[in-house]
Structure 1
Amino acid sequence: MKKEIPVYDICTLSEFKQEDILISRFAPYLAQHHKLHLAHKHTFYHLVLFTEGAGNHAIDFEQFDVKPYQIYFMIPGQVHSWSFDGPVDGYVINFSVPFFQSFLLKPDYLDQFSFFSGSISDAVINLPEAMQPNTIQLFEQLVQESENSQRLGLDMVRVLMLQVFISIGRLGFEQQAQQVSAYNYTLLKNFQKLIESHYTTLRLPKDYAELLYITPNHLNALCKDVLGIPAGEVIRNRIVLEAKRLLINLQLTIAEIATRLSFDDNSYFTKFFKKHTGLTPEEFRKETLKTNPHENIKLR
């Protein structure tokens, strides 16, 4: 039987009645869900702060060395796996997409934080030493709130989580302020949001520039200035990433993946993928599954 990568939601990972939030120390969480070291996806936001341990963590096929006081932010749909070297501990928070929407007037409030953009380079943060005590205190308060059913407990959890996001987000805000104006930063984020919605149908920078009411040259210059790559490459990178995510699902044939990504035929998809990765889709699938085997499980 063909294998399909597991897709976990919060209620499959918790005995809690709350389906929108899970907060735990990492060691018992890992012990309870030992299969989570294998490649898998989540339908929710996933936040991990390591306080001790070593090993590696792969997010969307990029490898990172696990270090104490390192924090990982993952958004729904990303593929990740980890391999630890000895005991590991820290904190984990899983929360659903709507968890803050009923609490904040701005439904897209989290979008302003670069670590929730889906960009791997922004998703892994080594906490400065000066921030470590306060961050640990916030996570300890979150654990306590999750264990004690007090009045307005979920609201307190949201407030504490926002403190974590804002304090860590300020690190990125300072760098962004030095690199790009507020207008251009917003413009770039809107471009990336549009790609998320249309990458299977809109492939050219001019299509996105039209939606953003700017010229293709402006969009291209913006991407080169901030990201170091042209707008067309930003679009192509997102298509390649989705192709990789789909390729580790053995339920799908290469032809079916090509169709999902709106390629006219299988051969064109193969040429496109090899041009940008150096491997054919079949070679990528074989190499990835060799290093990241997974169980025949599908959880939604």
Structure 2
Amino acid sequence: MKKVIPVYDICTLSEFKQEDILISRFAPYRAHHHDLHLAHKHTFYHLVLFTKGGGTHAIDFEQFTVRPYQIYFMIPGQVHSWDFEGVVDGYVINFSEQFFRSFLLKPDHLEQFSFFNGTLTDAVIDLPEAIQKPVIALFEQLVYESEANERMGLDMVRTLMLQVFILIGRLAPSQQARQVSPYNYTLLRNFHKLIDSHYQTLRLPKEYAELLYITPNHLNALCKDMLGLSAGEVIRNRIILEAKRLLINLELSIAEIAASLGFEDNSYFTKFFKKQTALTPEDFRKRTLKIKEYENDKLR
């Protein structure tokens, strides 16, 4: 039987659902949704703060070692799985894109936090000792508010979550430290948004530069300065990431994946993928799913 990577929305986790928000201690959440250790996607934002336990957590095919006082921020569409060791606990919050939209005048308010930009180096954070207690206290208040059903409880949840985001966002003020102008930061963010919307059809930096009303040289210099990558590399990395996400779904053939990504034929897609990863799509699929099967066997 072919494997299909599951995609969960908050409604799927119905016993915890409350108007686009789910807040829980992690141990009961994990026990109730025991299949979530397998590779899956979410349609919502997902953050987990670990307070005890170990093992590994994989996000978009990169593996991280789980440690106490480590927090993970995940955005919709990312693929993740975990392989825990020992007793694991902490907190989990799932929230939809709409949850803050009616509350904040700025619809893109969350995008100012680097841990919500989809870059994994910014999304996995070890909390320094100085803020561990304040962050835990905020999560305890969040659990209380989610269960108490008091007047204006959801607004209290939103304000507590924003405090968590701001407190943790202050840990890595990379924009201020490197004196990146707000204009350049916004430009780069808009470049990423455009890639997410057009990576299937637009492949050249000059095409994105035209949409951003800047020159290709300006776009390339911006990416080199802020990311250490060329604009072309940023585009190719996004295509490869989506290819990997699709390849672990055995319902899709390599040819179907190539077509969905905008490649004219399967052979061109294979050459492109191998050049970027040193593996053919078929080799990546076999290697990745073999690892997953091994992890699943350990849990049986």
Q: Shared fold (TM-score greater than 0.5)?
A: yes
Q: Structure 2 unaligned runs (5+)? A: none
Contact kept in structure 2, 1:11 and 1:19, CA below 8 Å: no
Matches of 1:9 and 1:195, distance apart in 2? 24
Q: Which structure 2 residues correspond to residues 18-97 of structure 1 after superposition, within 5 A? A: 18-97=18-97
Range with greater deviation from structure 2 (11-20 or 283-292): 11-20
Q: Secondary structure at the match of 2:174?
A: helix
Q: Secondary structure at the match of 2:234?
A: helix
Assess, with a 3 A threshold, how the Cα gap between structure 1 residues 17 and 286 changes in structure 2: closer, same or farther: closer
Matches of 2:45 and 2:101, distance apart in 1? 13
Specify which structure has the bigger relative contact order, considering alpha-carbon pairs within 8 angstroms and separated by 6 or more residues.
1
Contact kept in structure 1, 2:16 and 2:23, CA below 8 Å: no
Question: 1:201 corresponds to which letter in structure 2?
Answer: T
Q: Secondary structure at the match of 1:118?
A: coil
Shift of 1:103: 1.0
2:106 match: 106
Deviations 1:230-269 (A, max 9, x none): 0000000000000000000111110000010000100000
Contact kept in structure 2, 1:60 and 1:78, CA below 8 Å: yes
RMSD: 1.3
Contact kept in structure 2, 1:2 and 1:250, CA below 8 Å: yes
Matches of 2:170 and 2:199, distance apart in 1? 30
Question: 1:42 corresponds to which letter in structure 2?
Answer: H
Matches of 2:67 and 2:229, distance apart in 1? 29
2:174 match: 175
Contact kept in structure 1, 2:58 and 2:64, CA below 8 Å: yes
Matches of 2:114 and 2:176, distance apart in 1? 13
Q: Would you say 1:270 and 2:270 are equivalent positions?
A: yes
Deviations 1:136-171 (A, max 9, x none): 000000000011111111110001001111111122
Contact kept in structure 1, 2:79 and 2:245, CA below 8 Å: yes
Assess, with a 3 A threshold, how the Cα gap between structure 1 residues 67 and 17 changes in structure 2: closer, same or farther: closer
Q: Secondary structure at the match of 2:102?
A: coil
1:298 match: none
Matches of 1:19 and 1:251, distance apart in 2? 32
Range with greater deviation from structure 2 (160-169 or 230-239): 160-169
Q: Would you say 1:122 and 2:122 are equivalent positions?
A: yes
Shift of 1:124: 0.4
Range with greater deviation from structure 2 (71-80 or 286-295): 286-295
Question: 1:248 corresponds to which letter in structure 2?
Answer: I
Shift of 1:87: 0.6
1:233 match: 233
Matches of 1:206 and 1:128, distance apart in 2? 42
Assess, with a 3 A threshold, how the Cα gap between structure 1 residues 16 and 58 changes in structure 2: closer, same or farther: closer
Matches of 2:243 and 2:55, distance apart in 1? 27
Contact kept in structure 1, 2:8 and 2:40, CA below 8 Å: yes
Q: Secondary structure at the match of 2:94?
A: strand
Matches of 1:44 and 1:182, distance apart in 2? 27
Matches of 1:223 and 1:185, distance apart in 2? 10
Contact kept in structure 2, 1:14 and 1:22, CA below 8 Å: no
Matches of 2:219 and 2:17, distance apart in 1? 46
> TM-score, normalising length from structure 1?
0.95
Q: Which structure 2 residues correspond to residues 243-282 of structure 1 after superposition, within 5 A? A: 243-282=243-282
Q: Secondary structure at the match of 2:57?
A: strand
2:193 match: 193
Matches of 2:143 and 2:17, distance apart in 1? 16
Deviations 1:24-55 (A, max 9, x none): 00111111111111111111100000011111
Matches of 1:118 and 1:175, distance apart in 2? 16
Contact kept in structure 2, 1:53 and 1:85, CA below 8 Å: yes
Matches of 1:45 and 1:138, distance apart in 2? 18
Matches of 1:22 and 1:131, distance apart in 2? 24
Number of residue-to-residue matches in the alignment: 294
Q: Structure 1 unaligned runs (5+)? A: 296-300
Q: Would you say 1:142 and 2:135 are equivalent positions?
A: no
Matches of 2:102 and 2:4, distance apart in 1? 33
Shift of 1:19: 4.3
Percent of pairs identical after alignment?
78
Matches of 2:128 and 2:182, distance apart in 1? 25
Matches of 1:292 and 1:147, distance apart in 2? 36
Range with greater deviation from structure 2 (197-206 or 177-186): 177-186
